[in-house]
Structure 1
Amino acid sequence: MEWSTIALLMVGAVFLVWWNQREEKGSERAEAASDRLKRDNSLYKNIKTGMREINWLERDRGFRRHRNGEVIFENAHMIAYHVEHFAESRVGFYFKDLNEYGLYGFFAGNGDDFFESYYRTDKAFQDEGRLLHDED
């Protein structure tokens, strides 16, 4: 066999090994992204459910001011806390069944404009990681 044929076969083998590794990394990334979307969707739905409960609670007992970190309400599935922020009205959640923390933010703009934010956060409600969810 000629050296040029052997060299060509070696280059082809190296290319195939490189391509296979690249494909494996791509599938790992896709799996990680799918897992994150699934976790974020679950947390997003729980935050929305928590806000529905808070709205019903405030409707029944009236709105009242809470101090930063004060518990707004607690049930078997979650604890809701008031979280101070310079621009938004915020509620932090601890979801017992997920063992995760979420953060809801509401900003009223001009007229009828309003903006809602959903975050994955830490126990102190300081780190904010925007949630990816199907409604985006």
Structure 2
Amino acid sequence: MPRILGLNIVAVIVASIAFFLVGWLWYGILFMEAYMEYMGISPDEAGGSFDIWMAGGFLITVMQVIGLGLVMKWKGDASLVAGVTTTVVLWFFLALPFTMYAYLYGPVHDSTMMMIDASHLLVGWVASAVVLRLIK
């Protein structure tokens, strides 16, 4: 199986797609109204073409999945539970504080948006970890 930095490339692609779908679910369905209100856009404005932004978002997703995979590999997390545990710890000490920076230093201190963003990362990272551990 082809590998990227020692990670199964199929697992990286499938985990990235899973994480990207979590983002679509979070921002496109579950929390769409809160997100659009926060961003100050109407449903009509949201219908535009975002192809370049989506491609960039997918690249960022792939980078995060590779990072999670590398940390799990370096730790020797072979089991699903170990991989998910590592991912939750990384989220708590890295992703959550980064999300909190945006809340503290951004022009709008919106705790709802902070929780939406943080929970998106938590669920997306855990989904990625599950895929990475199931497809080695």
TM range (shorter): 0.3 to 0.5
Q: Choose between structure 1 and 2: higher strand proportion.
A: 1
Greater RCO, 1 or 2 (C-alpha within 8 Å, sep 6+): 2
| Structure exhibiting the larger radius of gyration computed from Cα positions | 1
Give the TM-score normalised by structure 2.
0.33
